[in-house]
């Protein structure tokens, strides 16, 4: 096994070395396979709870590797994965290599940060059984184990939650502007730092949404309602397009959506800058679906079926320009 993989998870690499490894994983299938196996084992042993004693963690992992060599690898791993009550990382597209999985210590509690790069998404099962889907260019900060009277996580970007019920400990999601408080529910949260609004859409259960600086002034959402927070104000309305939440299955959908809104999302999802030279293009609305694995060129071909426009690219500056 490449020593960089173990050093990555034990936080012995510099930022530059981590980035170099992650880039190499994208083109090296053998290295990627080793990385995934180590990541699964790392989650299995829940080494994040042993941050204070890294030598103990390394020793435990070494012992596990010796045991694995003496038994059939596949059967043993399946048996462990079936019964171990741990946090397991899954990539919906089978691509785990670009996740940045960092660990921090806050008030004697171990925290993890999961980041999904542009063009990817992730699914995570938290220690309490809560399921989280994380969209492209999003970040989730969560404890290795929920302790105390609440279950709190922090989100940047877009995430879909299926919260495990616990009447004694509310589940709280913190964003740049609002806090969400739930006991057991399903909802979608859109909160990219690059946008000027935060939107919470409730599919099942109940959720209380409040401004971070005014926790006693908020709104309770009912199923099929969403609240948009912009400029310090809250607007509650019915969910207009449920197909939007198909992104957790790798499908982006839009219905009668203005092109300017679609382009802003594409910038986030694909990490590019899109310039429109002719503002009249913004007057068009579009309805359609595309898969997350589709390239940006594929998406533009779909949009061009409704209205023709020209595309020019500046690969060095990562800029795409649209014109008539």
Give the model's pLDDT for residue 98.
Answer: 36
Could you tell me if 117 and 171 lie in one domain?
yes
244-289 confidence digits (pLDDT tens): 899 998 888 888 888 888 888 888 888 889 988 877 776 778 888 8
59-99 confidence digits (pLDDT tens): 544 554 455 454 444 444 444 433 333 333 333 333 333 34
Q: Band the pLDDT of 41: cuts 50, 70, 90.
A: low
Describe the chain by its helix, strand, coil percentages, rounded to 5. 30, 35, 30
Could you tell me if 91 and 170 lie in one domain?
yes
pTM (two decimals): 0.66
Helices (H) then strands (E): counts for the chain: 7, 20
Give the model's pLDDT for residue 53.
Answer: 44
Domain span including residue 167: 87-249
Could you tell me if 76 and 192 lie in one domain?
no
Could you tell me if 203 and 152 lie in one domain?
yes
Which residues are CB-neighbours of 314 under 8 A, at least 6 positions away? 320, 321
Could you tell me if 19 and 121 lie in one domain?
no
289-310 confidence digits (pLDDT tens): 888 778 888 888 888 877 788 8
What's the burial of 236, exposed, middle or buried (CB within 10 Å: 0-12/13-18/19+)? Answer: middle
CATH number for 196: 2.60.120.1440
Q: What average pLDDT does the segment 38-54 reach?
A: 45
Give the model's pLDDT for residue 7.
Answer: 80
Phi, psi of 40, rounded to the nearest 5 degrees: -65, -40
190-199 confidence digits (pLDDT tens): 999 888 899 9
What is the average pLDDT score of the chain? Answer: 77
Could you tell me if 200 and 94 lie in one domain?
yes
Could you tell me if 143 and 5 lie in one domain?
no
Specify the higher pLDDT residue, 88 or 208. Answer: 208
Which residues are CB-neighbours of 52 under 8 A, at least 6 positions away? none
Could you tell me if 220 and 169 lie in one domain?
yes
Could you tell me if 236 and 270 lie in one domain?
no
Could you tell me if 96 and 225 lie in one domain?
yes
Give the model's pLDDT for residue 118.
Answer: 78
What's the domain count of the chain? 3
Could you tell me if 80 and 179 lie in one domain?
no
Could you tell me if 199 and 236 lie in one domain?
yes
Q: Band the pLDDT of 136: cuts 50, 70, 90.
A: confident
- pLDDT at residue 168 above 70? yes
Closest by CA to 90, choosing from 127, 40, 143, is: 40
214-246 confidence digits (pLDDT tens): 888 899 999 999 999 998 899 999 998 888 899
């Amino acid at each position: 096994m490449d020593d960089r993989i173990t050093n990555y998870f034990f936080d012995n690499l510099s930022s530059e070395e981590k980035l170099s490894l992650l880039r190499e994983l994208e083109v090296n299938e053998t290295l990627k396979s080793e990385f995934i196996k180590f990541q699964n084992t790392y989650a299995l042993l829940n080494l994040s709870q042993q941050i204070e004693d890294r030598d103990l963690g390394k020793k435990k992992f070494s012992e596990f590797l010796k045991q694995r060599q003496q038994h059939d690898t596949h059967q043993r791993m399946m048996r462990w994965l079936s019964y171990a009550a741990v946090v397991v990382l899954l990539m919906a597209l089978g691509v785990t290599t670009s996740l940045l999985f960092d660990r921090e210590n806050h008030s004697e509690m171990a925290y993890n940060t999961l980041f999904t790069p542009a063009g990817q998404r992730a699914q995570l099962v938290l220690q309490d059984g809560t399921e989280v889907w994380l969209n492209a260019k999003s970040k989730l900060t969560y404890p290795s184990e929920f302790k105390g009277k609440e279950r709190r996580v922090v989100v940047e970007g877009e995430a879909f939650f299926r919260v495990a019920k616990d009447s004694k400990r509310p589940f709280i999601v913190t964003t740049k502007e609002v806090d969400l408080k739930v006991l057991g529910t399903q909802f979608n949260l859109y909160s990219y730092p690059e946008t000027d609004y935060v939107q919470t859409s409730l599919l099942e259960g109940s959720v209380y949404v409040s401004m971070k600086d005014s926790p006693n002034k908020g709104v309770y959402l009912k199923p099929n309602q969403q609240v948009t927070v912009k400029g310090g104000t809250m607007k509650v309305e019915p969910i207009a397009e449920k197909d939007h939440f198909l992104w957790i299955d790798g499908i982006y959908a839009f219905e009668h959506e203005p092109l300017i809104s679609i382009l802003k999302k594409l910038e986030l999802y694909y990490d590019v800058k899109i310039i429109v030279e002719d503002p009249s293009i913004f007057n068009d609305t579009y309805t359609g679906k595309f898969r997350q694995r589709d390239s940006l060129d594929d998406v533009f071909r779909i949009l061009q079926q409704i209205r023709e426009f020209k595309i020019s690219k500046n690969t060095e500056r990562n800029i795409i320009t649209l014109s008539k």
